[in-house]
A and B are shown apart, each in its own frame.
Chain A
Amino acid sequence: MAVVQLDHVRKVYDTKVAVEGLSLAVEAGTMFGLLGPNGSGKTSSIRMMIGITVPDSGSVSLFGKPFARSSLARVGYLPEERGLYKKMNVLDQLIFLGRLHYIPAAVAEKRARVWCEKLQIAEAIPKKTEDLSKGMQQKIQFIGAVLHDPDLIIMDEPFSGLDPVNALMLMDTLLELRSQGRAVLFSTHRMDQVEKLCDNIALIHRGKLVLSGSMGEIKSSYPHNRVHITFEGDDSFLRHPSIESIKRFPGQADIRLHPSPTLADDAQALLARALQHARVTRFEVTEPTLEEIFIEKVRETSPDTNGPNLSPAQLEEPVGSYLDA
């Protein structure tokens, strides 16, 4: 039974089609990544899952039943735009959020303290929210979303604005929640996290699903034509005929090989050539990263002309900076 399921969902705002024929399902005890560039319909899809907006057509079901507001008591939601009452103190705020999800004030208070301890912000409990740092406020918001022990946790861009230490802490917490059998769905455009965390993903672009499935399946459907090499010395081996394109970094290169049936042999030949000229400290042959798949897919579905979200020029930019934009 899917914890949350979208079936051919469509949502139109005035003239803009936000989501078009989107179907996806999240199972209990799994982590689901919803990927897509900015403005691709991630937030619109999430809002329909929790009843902030209603789909124009198609259906949303929670816990195997058609969407009903009563099911929301079992859902925790972390919105993209974080929002807390600035003037309220942290504990009151968390108790209020807990009570909104039908848990008694005393229970909410106990759980809030446990969670604050766990996320190392116990000292923030008596403070006013506006006196806290942004990272701390985000943690408070996260606690607010999980305080009522939801079976489904939906998060819109949970990692944005977190420093590496806190991002790691959040990842660990999410993995723990998954191991407790809860379903976690989050949207992001940070591919590295998705690759590490998610069991299943859905990639949407301009409101449409362009790729979905389990992480393993998706990766294995792509050939091992990426070579990452770290070396010292002469780089003339990089003109090897099997190489389709190269990205050069100081002392490193990310290589893409020509598609061919003898791909594995090509890679070995390249390694042999490299060893003749340079001192190689790392040589790795892999399938494309999710990031690359993502960009490829987005490029496929964006007509080269009149693409408002992605112009070809933008795609030539370094991948990371585009994705974080």
Chain B
Amino acid sequence: MRNVWLIAHREYTDRVRTRGFLLTTIMIPVIMAGFVVGSNFLGVKGTTDIRIAVVSSDVQLALDLQDELNRMQDQKEQTQSESDASQNMPSAPARQPRIIVDAIDPGPDTKAELDESLDSGDSDGYLWITPASAPGGRPTFVFTPRSNWDVSIKNTLASALDKVLIREQLTHRGIVAADADTMLQPVQIAAPANPHHDDDKSAEISVSVLFFVMYLVIMLYGMNVARSIIEEKTSRIFEVLLASIRPEAMMAGKIIGVGSVGLTQVGIWLIAALTLAGASVALHLGANVYHVSLTLTQIIFFFIYFILGYLFYASIAAALGAMTNSEQELQQLNMFLVLPLLFCFIMLGTLLTTPDSTLARVLALVPPFTPLLMYFRVSLGHPAVWEIALSLVLTSASICGLIWITSRIYRVGVLMYGKRPSISEIFRWLKYS
């Protein structure tokens, strides 16, 4: 145990002192901060209104459309601020871009003029309304946007026009305007915050960010373990070490040392993220978008599953490192490391929508996927206590098994130079040591 600590300690201090560690540890929070501040800056700048020309011989229709658009916009902003209030967050009233309608009578040159204003950027699009040829029929609408890129304008216009036409029909059939308003009022579904299940959007984002961090760090530091074993193989230092300590202790020390560096880094990032979030709330900077919403349980489970996941993949990486002699050879084998992690990544979409589906429940118990997927379920779904316990037991057991296998491969593998072993050779290694 003393030797494990000695190796881990050396590995840790050696790595923490490198320029690369300092750079990534500091740069990533700086980039995060830059991203938050920058997107806020852009967000403030980005709320210019949209100008649309409505060409219609029926001026009333154009005015109704303008009214309807205003009404929709007001409602949207109101619900937005209500939901913010329910999440107990101070929120700067976010100004949404408004659609401003200019009513124009069709003339012989109108189309050419409108096209010209589209090109010059004075207008963002025009809607050409041709009145219905037969009474009672619907007018036809042609919308020419400046760019086809913004689909939302077209959708907003369509739903506004729907309402305008329905309102017109209703008044035609003798319904009072106030009644029509009530009938057309959109339905509101209240979603009070559930104290047991904090599944608002921001929690989802925070948990996803942690998921990415876990994925990245496990992959990065797993590869670091493999790389540092190869490095020791090429520098032949391990032979000196093996003369005084067991290969198992060497490997354990290496995994713990490299892992502690990862934990330090994640810890620093997490602290930076939390301070940053705190600061951004204080500054009212984009608090409605980028606020960190993590419970203590989520953070604790994050670290538990992070450590388990790291141990699992680092043992695989240690075996890969012991089997290979160069970085190039490692590249060919690192799919064993990347594929299961990548699979978890692909499953992220499914888990976000249905964290408690049978598929998710089963996969979260499979040891290679447990660290990432179970963490996700714990944070966003409702796994039973026995499921969490079982996942911890299964993963721990498989880590022990894996370390046993890996240390045998390691023991023989570190002394082998030259050609890469075949599968059958590796099995033979497992038999003797």
Binding site for B on A (CB under 8 A): 14, 47, 50-54, 69, 72-73, 75, 77, 79, 81-88, 96-97, 99-101, 141, 144-145
Contacts and interface: CB of A to CB of B under 8 A. Distances in A.
Contact of B239 (A52, A86, A99, A100): A52
A73 to B, nearest CB: 7
A85 B243 contact: no
A82 B3 contact: no
Given A88-B14, A96-B6, A79 B244 contact: no
A81 B239 contact: yes
Interface string B229-272: 00010011111111111100000000000000000000000000
Interface of B is mostly: helix
Given A47-B415, A69-B246, A83-B240, 12 more contacts: A52-B243, A53-B415, A73-B244, A79-B240, A79-B243, A83-B235, A83-B239, A85-B235, A86-B235, A96-B10, A99-B6, A100-B245
Interface of B: 3, 6, 10, 14, 18, 232, 235-246, 415, 425, 428, 433
B237 A85 contact: yes
B14 A87 contact: yes
Contacts of B425: 14
A47 B415 CA distance: 10
Nearest to B232: A83
Nearest to A86: B235
Contacts of A47: 415
Contact of B240 (A53, A73, A77, A86): A77
From B10, B241, B428, residue with most partner A Cβ within 10 Å: B10
A71 to B, nearest CB: 11
Contacts of B415: 47, 52-53
Given A81-B239, A83-B238, A85-B14, A100 B244 contact: yes
A81 B254 CA distance: 21
A54 B241 CA distance: 16
Cβ-closest 4 pairs across A and B: A83-B236, A83-B237, A81-B236, A77-B243
Contacts of B3: 100
A6 to B, nearest CB: 16
21 contacts: A52-B239, A52-B415, A53-B415, A69-B246, A72-B243, A72-B244, A77-B243, A79-B239, A81-B236, A83-B236, A83-B239, A83-B240, A84-B237, A85-B235, A96-B6, A100-B3, A100-B6, A100-B241, A101-B244, A141-B240, A145-B240
A69 B235 CA distance: 24
B242 A52 contact: yes
Nearest to B417: A81
Contacts of A101: 244
A137 B257 CA distance: 26
A75 B244 CA distance: 9
Given A14-B428, A53-B415, A96-B6, A84 B235 contact: yes
From B18, B232, B243, residue with most partner A Cβ within 10 Å: B243
A100 B240 CA distance: 10
Nearest to B7: A100
Contacts of B242: 51-52
